[in-house]
Amino acid sequence: MKKNFTCINCPLGCSVDVTLNDKGEILDITGNTCPLGEKYVRNEIKDPRRMVTSTVRLIGSEHYSVPVKTRDAIPKNKIFECMKEINQIQVTAPVKVGDVVKENIAGTDIDLVATANRLN
Query: How many whole angstroms separate alpha carbon 57 and alpha carbon 45?
Result: 35
| Run of H or E including 27 | strand 26-30
Residue 75 preceded by cis peptide, ω within 30: no
Q: Read off the pTM.
A: 0.82
| Cβ pair 95, 118 in contact under 8 A | yes
Query: How many whole angstroms separate alpha carbon 117 and alpha carbon 81?
Result: 26
| Cβ pair 98, 70 in contact under 8 A | no
The pLDDT profile of the chain, 120 residues, written as one tens digit per residue, is 999 999 998 899 999 999 999 999 999 999 999 999 999 999 999 999 999 999 999 999 999 999 999 999 999 999 999 999 999 999 999 999 999 999 999 999 999 999 999 998
